[in-house]
Every structure is written in structure tokens, then in C-alpha cells.
Chain A
């Protein structure tokens, strides 16, 4: 078991510094992208002015996790499917339209996917292992697997999370990426995994590619832990599943559509286990047809 020490999420929900995100879930609010804290309370002014929304969310969640953990992270692992879209768009627009010989360095520097992990490293003055994973909608799951390997390798407190930001231009691209009609959104969720016993942990994670049957893969995944569908108290899923679970939440109805929303679903699953007489929560991420992410949360 890989225990969860603390979690911090910024999302469309009122999730930041909320001890029970599950109980306060509401429908996605199209009027707001995210319910964000005042970033000036977390990030120095001189650093903040350069940071796009995804960097602000990621760094703030990481800082909140650091504060709650009260120990230095010995690994930082970040997942993001589309990365720093705002700076990428700014850089490419300048690149195409500018007639000058020079381009703004800031947008270029911050357009790469690993800027989130880099800014967290700079913001926390943490020079430990720092890795970014980009695997489409499974970026968070792959990051979790890396974080679990870090724990196996003897690391004590591993920061792992995922972040995505939307830009208006994404509306044009979205139909070509995944067949889903939920409104586009932004969000970030970060966790501290530890080998120290806590009340709730992550038992198993799979990131599967080229799958044939979601239902068969779920049954196989649960069977490896000697579980069946009937043992799952809550399933949080991105899409409909042809299996009968006791309780199901379609998490995109709360997060909106972004490619790392399963990280927020994991936060909800954790809070459900914390406040309910339940033992097993399954997060099913089937946003892309041939890819499947499965995360099993359990009481410790």
C-alpha cells in the first residue's frame, strides 16, 4: 500500500483547503474555470507575474502539500497531457506573427510541459528527483506509478500530481482529441505519497494501452487484488461502464473535461473513504477509447 499523507486540489469545485471534497461536490459551474485561492498568499509577487494559470495552480497545490507534510519531498512527479497551453500559444503566435528578430523569452521558457515540475522545484528550493510524464489522458496514472516506484526505491515523501489548463483555442481542437461533450476546464491535484502508515492509500494503479474491453480489464484488475465488482463501494468514472457498481459518480460532471481529471477523482475517492464506512474505491479513466486508467484506493 502507498499511503496518502495529504492532498491539495484546485478545481472547478470548492476543493482547496476542503477536508471533505466528496460531501461538497456540486455540478460543474460553467461560469467559473476554477475556484482559486489568492495566489499572492502563496507565491512571491516577482515569481507570480510570470506564471500562467497551470503553473499557479500546480505550485500553490505543491506548496500547500509541503506545508501539510512538514517535511522535504524526496521526489517530485508531475503528470500533464497538454502542459502549459497558454505560454505555448503565446510563444507560437509570436513566432508566426512577429516580424522582429527576437521573441519574448518568458513564453518560450515556460511553454514546455516540465515547467510545472521545474517551478515547483524552484518554489520549494527542492533539488530532488523531478520528473514529468505526458501520456495523454493517462498522464496522472503513469505519474502515480512512477511515484510508487520511488517509494519502492526507499523514498519517504513523494509529491505526485497532475495539472491541466484550458485556453479558448482548445475548443477548436477538442473534438479531434476525444469524443466527449463536457465543457473544457482546468484543474490541478497534488498528493504526497509516503511509506508511513496512514488511514487511506493507493493499493494498485494500472495504465493500459490498446485495450479491447473496459469491463474485462476492470474485472482482471480487481481479481489481482482478490476483489470483485461487488467489493467496490464507490466507482468514480469518466464514462459509462457496463458493470453494476453499488455507487457510481461520473466525475467529469463535476470537474469538466480535462485530461488529468482522474487526479481530482482520486481526491474525491480519498475523502469518500475518510468519511464513510467503506473500504474500496475505484477510479476508472476511460476518456480515450483505447486507453484505460485504473486506480484502487483502500483504507489502510
Chain B
């Protein structure tokens, strides 16, 4: 699980082009949307692409995203449950 979280952090940084941010700057429970990383609705779409391309997971109902994309913890848990 910790390997998955580390990989996720690296993929998030690459997919969202988060300049000047390293995986160490993202805590497992850091809220991904809001002040810390400043992500927005376009990034939510990028997360959907990231999950589909890297883990083969399709989010059929976009409204689920609010819960899934809360943090690296919630993302990793969703991937573990659905892969």
C-alpha cells in the first residue's frame, strides 16, 4: 500500500505538472483540492484520466470523484478496492 501511495504521488505530480512539488511535500492525508496543492476542476478530470490510464479503473459516476480524490489515502484505497 505504501508503494502504491508513493507511486500515486509521483504520478499526480507528473500528470498535473506540479512544478516545485516533490512526493515528500504531499502527505498521505493532505486534502488534494483546496489550499495545499491548489487543484481545481480540470485537475479532477486529469485524475479520472490518471486512474483509467494507469490502473484501468473507470469512474462511471463523476460525482463519486469528490470522495475518491480527497487525498492520496482515499485514492489508494479506491484503487486497492477496484483494481
Task: List A residues at the B interface (Cβ < 8 Å).
Answer: 45-46, 48-50, 98, 100-106, 109
> In the complex the two chains form, what is the Cα distance from A103 to B58 in whole Å?
13
Q: Are B53 and A100 in contact (CB under 8 A)?
A: yes
Min CB–CB distance A168 → chain B (angstroms): 19
List 15 other contacts, CB 8 Å, given A48-B19, A49-B17, A105-B46: A45-B38, A49-B16, A98-B53, A100-B49, A100-B52, A100-B53, A101-B52, A102-B49, A102-B52, A104-B15, A104-B46, A105-B49, A106-B42, A106-B46, A109-B42
> In the complex the two chains form, what is the Cα distance from A102 to B46 in whole Å?
9
Chain B residues within an 8 Å CB radius of A103:
49
11 residue pairs from A and B, CB less than 8 Å apart: A45-B19, A45-B38, A49-B18, A50-B17, A98-B53, A100-B52, A102-B52, A103-B49, A104-B49, A105-B42, A109-B42
B48: interface (CB < 8 Å): yes
Q: Are A45 and B49 in contact (CB under 8 A)?
A: no
Chain A residues within an 8 Å CB radius of B18:
49
Min CB–CB distance B53 → chain A (angstroms): 5
> In the complex the two chains form, what is the Cα distance from A101 to B53 in whole Å?
8
> In the complex the two chains form, what is the Cα distance from A102 to B51 in whole Å?
10
Number of interface residues of B (CB under 8 A): 16
1/0 per residue, CB under 8 A from A, across B27-42: the answer is 0000000000010101
B45: interface (CB < 8 Å): yes
Min CB–CB distance B66 → chain A (angstroms): 18
Min CB–CB distance A90 → chain B (angstroms): 11
Min CB–CB distance B27 → chain A (angstroms): 19
Q: Are B48 and A102 in contact (CB under 8 A)?
A: yes
Known contacts A101-B58, A106-B42, A109-B42, A49 near B49 by CB under 8 Å: no
Chain A residues within an 8 Å CB radius of B53:
98, 100, 102
Chain A residues within an 8 Å CB radius of B38:
45-46
Min CB–CB distance B55 → chain A (angstroms): 10
Q: Which of A45, A101, A105 has the most CB of B within 10 A?
A: A105
Closest to A50 in B: B17
Min CB–CB distance B50 → chain A (angstroms): 9
B3: interface (CB < 8 Å): no
> In the complex the two chains form, what is the Cα distance from A46 to B19 in whole Å?
9
B20: interface (CB < 8 Å): yes
Chain A residues within an 8 Å CB radius of B15:
104
Min CB–CB distance A163 → chain B (angstroms): 20
Closest to A51 in B: B17
Chain A residues within an 8 Å CB radius of B49:
100, 102-105
> In the complex the two chains form, what is the Cα distance from A159 to B32 in whole Å?
37
Chain B residues within an 8 Å CB radius of A102:
48-49, 52-53
Chain B residues within an 8 Å CB radius of A101:
52, 58
